[in-house]
């Protein structure tokens, strides 16, 4: 099996509770909800949520009939199950973004929110997502912006060594990357996407300001400023809406087993057995445990 880039693994983490529920991020959460409402299609059949974590954003995709809630960590997915429940609407999948276990052209929508900044090989990850999307699909991507105002000021004052104007990603701590907006646009264009909208988000990500002003007020003000992303991007977070040319399919396969391909050899027709999906080509066995399809390592 080919070696893939380093992966940021949240297995066993209390990220949802520590960072979102108790970490003073209500403003950021509400601002992201405004951005997603602006960018999401009104309806759809099958959404791929890459890096879903504990399902914080998943209810915001209610316009889609079904959502694949995907993360590398099974403990994060278990937390998502507790939040969202088990039903035909949500399909929980543990997988490596560099080896996505989905057939080509399956999804009519995908999101990747607060995930790209953990990608050591962002173009590779984006190419994998693009492969799984059908013509006409919408992809909403959020990325951490290295060309933010704080970084520009720090660089100008000599308080940081890396340039925010350089197109190369910067790894400021291990497996945490910031990206230049122009580089993101280039990568998406090379993959055949058309960039429809760009929103700047988290204009007021300042600890002292968040302590003084209610989150809902800051989020409302953020929502007013988000459309300025069409002109310039100076915020720490940027959302883009990218669309593939073509017409959407009328139908998605009804059987969930027909959505997958073997991440080991790439074969399409996996066979469902009790608690496993088996690849008839390479004989890899992929476990299905507690309602989670696990494609990280064959068993």
C-alpha 294, offset from chain centre? 18
What is the 3 state secondary structure string of the chain?
Answer: CCCCCCCCCCCCCCHHHHHHHCCCCHHHHHHHHHHHHHHCCCCEEEEEEECCCCCCCHHHHCCEEEEEEEECCHHHHHHHHHHHCCCCCEEEEECCHHHCCECCCCEEEEEECCCHHHCCCHHHHHHHHHHHEEEEEEEEEEEEECCCHHHHHHHHCCCCCCCCCCCCCEEEECCEEEECHHHHHHHHHHCCCEEEEEEEECCCCCHHHHHHCCHHHHHHHHHHHHHHHHCCCCCCEEEEEEECCCCCCCCCCCCHHHHECCCCCCCCCCEEECCEEECCCCCCEEEEECCEEECCCCC
b/e 91-120 (16+ beta carbons within 10 angstroms → b): bbbbbbbbbbbbbeebbbbbbbbbbbbbbb
Q: Would you state the structure tokens that stand for residue 236, as one six-digit string?
A: 């720490």
d(CA 271, CA 26): 44
Strand pairing class (285-289; 276-278)? antiparallel
d(CA 220, CA 203): 11
CA dihedral 177, 178, 183, 186 (to 10 degrees): 70
Side-chain-side CA neighbours of 263 within 13 Å: the count stands at: 25
Strand pairing class (90-94; 176-178)? unpaired
- Kindly report the backbone phi and psi dihedral angles of residue 97, in degrees, each rounded to the nearest multiple of 5, phi listed first: -60, -25
Strand pairing class (170-173; 64-71)? unpaired
Predicted TM-score (pTM) of the model is 0.96
Q: Do residues 235 and 148 touch, judged by C-beta distance below 8 A?
A: yes
Query: How does pLDDT run along the chain (299 residues), one tens digit per residue?
Result: 557 798 999 999 999 999 999 999 999 999 999 999 999 999 999 999 999 999 999 999 999 999 999 999 999 999 999 999 999 999 999 999 999 999 999 999 999 999 999 999 999 999 999 999 999 999 999 999 999 999 999 999 999 999 999 999 999 999 999 999 999 999 999 999 999 999 999 999 999 999 999 999 999 999 999 999 999 999 999 999 999 999 998 789 989 999 999 999 999 989 999 899 999 999 999 999 999 999 999 99
Residue with tokens 């970490």: 23
Q: What pLDDT is attached to residue 251?
A: 85
């Amino acid at each position: 099996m080919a070696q893939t880039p380093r992966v940021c693994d949240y297995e066993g983490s209390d990220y949802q509770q520590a960072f979102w529920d108790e970490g003073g991020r209500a403003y950021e959460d509400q601002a992201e909800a405004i951005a997603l409402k602006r960018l999401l299609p009104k309806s759809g059949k099958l959404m791929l949520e890459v890096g879903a974590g504990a399902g914080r954003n998943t209810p915001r995709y209610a316009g889609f009939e079904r959502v694949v809630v995907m993360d590398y960590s099974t403990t994060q997915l278990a937390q998502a199950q507790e939040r969202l429940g088990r039903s035909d609407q949500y399909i929980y999948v543990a997988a490596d973004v560099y080896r996505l276990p989905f057939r080509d052209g399956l999804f009519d929508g995908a999101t990747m929110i607060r995930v790209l900044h953990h990608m050591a090989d962002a173009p590779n990850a984006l190419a994998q997502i693009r492969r799984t999307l059908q013509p006409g699909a919408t992809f909403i991507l959020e990325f951490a912006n290295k060309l933010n105002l704080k970084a520009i000021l720090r660089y100008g004052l000599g308080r940081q060594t890396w340039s925010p104007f350089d197109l190369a990603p910067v790894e400021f701590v291990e497996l945490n990357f910031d990206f230049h907006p122009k580089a993101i646009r280039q990568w998406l264009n090379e993959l055949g996407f058309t960039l429809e909208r760009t929103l700047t988000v988290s204009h007021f990500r300042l600890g002292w300001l968040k302590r003084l002003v209610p989150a809902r007020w800051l989020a409302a003000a953020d929502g007013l400023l988000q459309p300025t992303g069409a002109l310039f991007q100076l915020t720490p977070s940027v959302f883009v809406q990218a669309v593939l040319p073509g017409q959407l399919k009328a139908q998605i396969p009804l059987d969930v087993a027909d959505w997958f391909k073997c991440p080991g050899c790439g074969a399409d027709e996996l066979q469902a057995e009790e608690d496993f999906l088996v690849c008839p080509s390479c004989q890899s066995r992929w476990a299905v445990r507690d309602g989670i399809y696990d494609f990280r390592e064959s068993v």
